């Protein structure tokens, strides 16, 4: 190569670096600190890290680079504001919610992903508000009570299947079994569909659900493309969802068709279909596509989050036999008092509640939350003005593990959440279900479901860690934290008293 070519190359590289530096000056020009920036990548490299490492990196951003108050990051050139200050979080998610009604929304152009554009998680502004008000009545306490017997049936299936499996194997993967349970439960409660994942080993449901959350390299790359180069993603019509989405779409389509002909069940699907009918009082109507989208979302959102929570909780209890025995005693007392594990009894089980809340603190399935600024906003008590479109992230994982709020943060200590200790918990430091009006719509359902399954398992068997599986390995993909290689436990059946 001649000198001119080298010179051109060097000038080209220098110009590219100058461009990257200029794009990465968004925060510094506003006086906002940032962790060390990698040219072009910004801070996106963390997404390539394995296991817990992306979250440990976020922890550094939080504790070393200002994230516990606020600091800036870049996903390639896209600026993100990390806000860990509790007062500011309260402003953004609750007090000034009108400025932050949305999450980051993606327009997916591949035909196979189309249904995702209509999901409530991806909706903005008034469209979100209307959808949310239509969907909210599905999760009132009256509805929960009505669904309780269905959830109990599925939990009984879980227990008998797990015990049978344990009788023939030295240890069993409870993450797998909890996944079957949550899939059967949500399908039954929301749609009246019987998946029978326990009876039918080859049931399509758990297979499709599992593949939805599998983080292949192709999937990881597609997520990175979607986040960093949405225009390229859109142009090439890349597909975000695995083909298992099509399976869920088919199931829901068939169920809607059957409902149109048949009797009502008063469940989630009925509510959506009623809202879709031409109703002069409700100006906004839900069309078929929207009903389909919300239904699929429920199957997806209701499966892995709750199954992972149950898997993590059973791991912690197997590891801490004192807590496990304490929980069993509480549950036995409830059965004695109420004759069974009734809805009321389960709601009164304080230690069961505490075990799940502590599990969700240690391993929140959604370890980061996001909001998008919808109109220019002056961050209270600061000089910083956020612009429409800016993304704000809340470091859930780091706050949940901050020793300032949680002494010995890595220890599983359910007693933190017992009523007598609740006053020691700082508001806004425990947010596994998100914050404010855009929090998890199904929190009540998820907790009820998890309590029934965990309660019944603990009453039926002693849980012990299997040799060689004493440490929890996690993966953080598709935005969700989950056990990487399942949760392998030995189940010792307990005789009924
Ligand atoms: C342990 C189980 C679960 C956890 C930890 C969890 C957590 C979350 C979190 C963190 C969010 C975002 C909240 C925010 O941005 O502030 C969310 C949203 C949502 N969740 Fe859950 N979730 C769980 C179970 C469920 C279940 C069982 C369903 C459905 C049956 C569900 C449906 C949804 C929906 C529809 C949204 C979007 C709400 C909106 O955008 O208005 N989740 N969930």
Residue 192 backbone class (left: φ over 0; alpha: ψ -120 to 50; beta: rest): left
Statement: residue 53 has pLDDT above 50: yes
Model pLDDT, residue 279? 55
- Token digits for 462? 């002693």
**Chain mean pLDDT for the chain:** 89
Cα 297 to averaged position of ligand 1 atoms, centre (Å): 10
What is the tens place of the pLDDT at every residue in 124-170? 999 999 889 888 887 888 888 888 999 999 999 999 999 999 999 99
Residue 185: CA count within 13 A, CB half-sphere: 32
What is the tens place of the pLDDT at every residue in 398-410? 999 999 999 999 9
Q: How confident is the model at residue 284 (pLDDT cuts 50, 70, 90)?
A: very low
Q: Rounded mean pLDDT of 281-288?
A: 62
Statement: residue 107 has pLDDT above 90: no
Q: How confident is the model at residue 329 (pLDDT cuts 50, 70, 90)?
A: very high
- The angle subtended at Cα 104 by Cα 133 and Cα 267, nearest 5°, is 30
Question: Is 3 a domain residue?
Answer: no
Parent domain of 366:
26-493
Distances (CA, A) of 202 to 151, 156, 168, 206, 449: 22, 20, 19, 8, 24
What is the tens place of the pLDDT at every residue in 424-434? 999 999 999 99
Question: Is 475 a domain residue?
Answer: yes
Number of domains in the chain: 1
Model pLDDT, residue 170? 95
Question: Is 412 a domain residue?
Answer: yes
- Token digits for 141? 């306490």
More confident site: 266 or 458: 458
- Token digits for 403? 């020793």
Is the separation of the CB atoms in 493 and 461 below 8 Å? yes
Cα 40 to averaged position of ligand 1 atoms, centre (Å): 33
Statement: residue 50 has pLDDT above 80: yes
**What percent of the chain is modeled with pLDDT above 90?**
63
Model pLDDT, residue 231? 74
Statement: residue 262 has pLDDT above 50: yes
Cα 68 to averaged position of ligand 1 atoms, centre (Å): 24
User: Cα(425)–Cα(8) distance, rounded to whole angstroms?
Assistant: 60
Which atom of ligand 1 is nearest the CA belonging to 132? Answer: 41
- The angle subtended at Cα 115 by Cα 77 and Cα 284, nearest 5°, is 100
Q: How confident is the model at residue 411 (pLDDT cuts 50, 70, 90)?
A: very high
Range of 95-104, 266-275, 294-303, 468-477 with top mean pLDDT: 95-104
CATH number of the domain encompassing residue 434: 1.10.630.10
More confident site: 277 or 26: 26
Q: What are phi and psi of 226, to 5 degrees?
A: -60, -40
Question: Is 469 a domain residue?
Answer: yes
**Local structure of 372: helix, strand or coil:** strand
Cα 446 to averaged position of ligand 1 atoms, centre (Å): 9
Distances (CA, A) of 94 to 138, 367, 436: 23, 19, 5
Question: Is 20 a domain residue?
Answer: no
Exposed/middle/buried for residue 55 (C-beta within 10 Å: 0-12, 13-18, 19+): buried
Distances (CA, A) of 33 to 385, 390, 464: 15, 16, 46
| Eight-state DSSP code of residue 102 | B
Q: Is the Cβ atom of 365 under 6 angstroms away from ligand 1?
A: yes
Q: Is the Cβ atom of 206 under 6 angstroms away from ligand 1?
A: no
Q: Is the Cβ atom of 32 under 6 angstroms away from ligand 1?
A: no
Model pLDDT, residue 283? 47
More confident site: 122 or 210: 122
Model pLDDT, residue 459? 97
Question: Is 5 a domain residue?
Answer: no
Model pLDDT, residue 205? 74
Radius of gyration of the chain (CA): 24
Range of 204-208, 306-310, 492-496 with top mean pLDDT: 306-310
- Token digits for 264? 């009502």
Model pLDDT, residue 496? 55
């Amino acid at each position: 190569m001649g000198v001119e070519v080298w010179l051109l190359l060097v000038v080209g590289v220098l110009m590219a670096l100058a461009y990257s530096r200029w794009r990465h000056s968004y925060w510094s020009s506003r006086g906002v600190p940032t962790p060390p920036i990698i040219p072009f990548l910004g801070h996106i490299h963390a997404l390539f890290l394995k296991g817990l490492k992306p979250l440990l990196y976020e922890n550094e951003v939080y504790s070393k680079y200002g994230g516990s108050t606020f600091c800036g990051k870049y996903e390639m050139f896209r600026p993100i504001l990390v806000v860990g200050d509790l007062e500011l979080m309260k402003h953004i998610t609750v007090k000034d919610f009108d400025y932050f009604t949305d999450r980051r929304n993606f327009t997916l152009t591949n035909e196979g992903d189309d249904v995702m554009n209509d999901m409530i998680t991806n909706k903005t502004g008034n469209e979100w508000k209307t959808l949310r008000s239509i969907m909210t009545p599905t999760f009132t306490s009256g509805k929960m009570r009505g669904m309780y017997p269905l959830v109990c049936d599925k939990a009984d299936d879980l227990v008998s299947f797990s015990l049978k499996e344990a009788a023939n194997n030295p240890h069993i993967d409870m993450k797998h079994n909890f996944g079957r349970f949550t899939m059967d439960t949500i399908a039954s409660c929301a749609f009246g569909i019987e998946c029978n994942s326990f009876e039918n080993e080859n049931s399509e449901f758990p297979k499709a659900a599992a593949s939805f959350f599998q983080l292949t390299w192709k999937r990881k790359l597609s997520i990175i493309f979607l986040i960093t180069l949405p225009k390229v993603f859109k142009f090439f019509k890349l597909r975000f969802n695995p083909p298992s989405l099509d399976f869920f779409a088919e199931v829901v389509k068939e169920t809607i068709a059957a409902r149109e002909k048949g009797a009502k069940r008063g469940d989630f699907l009925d509510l959506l279909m009623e809202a879709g009918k031409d109703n002069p009082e409700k100006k906004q109507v839900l069309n078929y596509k929207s009903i389909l989208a919300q239904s699929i979302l429920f199957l997806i959102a209701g499966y892995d989050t709750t199954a992972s929570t149950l898997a993590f909780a059973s791991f912690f209890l197997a590891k801490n036999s004192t807590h496990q025995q304490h929980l069993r005693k509480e549950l036995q007392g409830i059965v004695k008092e109420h004759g069974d594990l009734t809805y009321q009894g389960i709601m009164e089980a304080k230690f069961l509640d505490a075990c799940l809340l502590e599990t969700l603190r240690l391993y929140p399935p959604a370890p980061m939350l996001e909001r998008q600024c919808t109109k220019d906003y002056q961050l209270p008590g600061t000089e910083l003005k956020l612009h429409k479109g800016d993304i704000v992230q809340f470091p859930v994982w780091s706050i949940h593990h901050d020793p300032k709020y949680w002494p010995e943060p890595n220890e599983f200590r359910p007693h933190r959440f017992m009523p007598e200790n609740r006053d020691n918990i700082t508001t806004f430091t425990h947010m596994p279900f998100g914050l404010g009006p855009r929090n998890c719509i199904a929190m009540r359902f998820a907790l009820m479901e998890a309590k029934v399954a965990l309660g019944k398992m603990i009453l039926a068997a002693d849980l012990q860690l299997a040799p060689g599986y004493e440490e929890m390995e996690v993966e953080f993909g598709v935005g969700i934290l989950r056990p990487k290689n399942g949760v392998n436990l030995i189940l010792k059946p307990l005789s009924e008293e």
